[in-house]
Amino acid sequence: MGSGITREPVRELHQNGSVRQAMTAAGSESAAADAFPAALRSAIQASGLSLDRIQYRLRARGVSISVTALSYWQSGRRRPERAESLAALGHLEDVLGVATGSLIALLGPPRPRGRVNRESSRLTVEALWGNSEPVSHLLRRIDYTTDTALAKLSQHDKIEIAGNRGEKAISIRQVFRAERDGADRTLMVYDLELPGRPFPEITAGDTCRIGRVAQDPSAGLMAAEILLDQPLNRGETTIVDYVLRHPGPPYSRGDDSYCRKFTSPVREFVLELRFDPAALPVYLEQYTVDTDEQVTNRRKLEPRADGRAHAIALDFGPGIQCVRWEWPD
């Protein structure tokens, strides 16, 4: 994951007065909660390195951190908390030429974990995309004002892959509970992964209808309002189902993966995959992309002879659940 890198000569960095002064200024201009991102931004600016170059130097040390994660850390949108991220931070200090432990010391105590914290956590939709600007621009064209009033209890996706390795259809079934009165719509954002492919047609099931739809062909993104059959009062539940049908045959091929992004915790996620029995992948795996943009929890899946396979995640989120597959040569 991350951006492509152009190899350039590596110049040595040493801790100097400008870096120390920048970090001191960062600490004084921010409250304790903002001290880490402010100091990191100052250290990056003082180093003269781009995020791509920082990622490259970390990778040379055997440390894998995405450019998106680095961007989130310096903006304050995320902070390193996982053991792997904290270990990477030590290398980052060395790459930036700042004193060992100076950035880690600004993190403070870990954030509280557990059920209460997870259920109250919610990311913005844009936060789940490495490049959030196209998503933000697209969302301005539709209304999803009551989406945050809905708690997603269950998500069940079913994707059908054609014999030509293209995507035929994706069926979605979601169970929601209203957290306040008046919830009447939710949001769908679909990423083609490979811009230039034709967009699928979205069709509503019995319990909802499709409102405004916005598309960005250059970014390969589509967003839609999913309108409930009636507004919900707090505590009421509903089932929402709709289908994305790709034009064909022939069906356009994506990047041979499927990812579901969760802005808040969900009790249950089930993904069904249906391949053509005459065209099965040679490898299939499930994995997680966490809020630090790190790939974890890889698990190999075995499609059956009839082409069926499934992946399950319980009490998951925020984050991204994915499957990917590989074809015979």
Q: Residue 247: what pLDDT?
A: 96
308-316/201-204 β-pairing: unpaired
- Band the pLDDT of 66: cuts 50, 70, 90: confident
DSSP 8-state code for residue 9: P
For domain 121-326, give the CATH number.
Answer: 2.60.40
Average pLDDT over residues 92-101: 86
CA dihedral of residues 297, 302, 307, 312 (deg, nearest 10): -40
Q: Provide the residue type at 212 as one letter.
A: R
pLDDT tens-place string over residues 203-233: 999 989 999 999 999 999 999 999 999 999 9
Start-end of H helices in the chain: 17-29, 35-47, 51-60, 67-75, 83-96, 115-120, 133-139
The answer for residues whose C-beta is within 8 angstroms of residue 131's C-beta and 6 or more apart is none
CATH 1.10.260 for the 17-107 domain, yes or no: yes
Mean pLDDT of 58-82: 79
| C-alpha neighbours within 13 Å on the C-beta side of residue 266 | 24
Structure tokens at 203: 């069709």
Give Cβ neighbours of residue 328 (< 8 Å, ≥ 6 apart).
282
Instruction: Check: pTM over 0.75? Answer yes or no.
Output: no
The burial of 52, by beta-carbon neighbours within 10 Å (0-12 exposed, 13-18 middle, 19 or more buried), is given as middle
pLDDT digits (tens, 9 = 90+) for 115-173: 434 444 678 888 888 778 899 999 999 998 888 899 999 999 999 999 999 999 999 99
pLDDT at 223 (0 to 100): 96
- Give percent of the chain above pLDDT 70: 84
Domain with CATH 1.10.260 in the chain: 17-107
Question: What does the pLDDT look like over 100-125, one tens digit per residue?
Answer: 778 887 876 555 444 434 444 678 88
Where along the chain do the CATH 2.60.40 domains lie? 121-326
Report how far residue 251's alpha carbon sits from residue 69's, in angstroms, rounded to the nearest whole number.
34
- The mean of the pLDDT values for the chain is 83
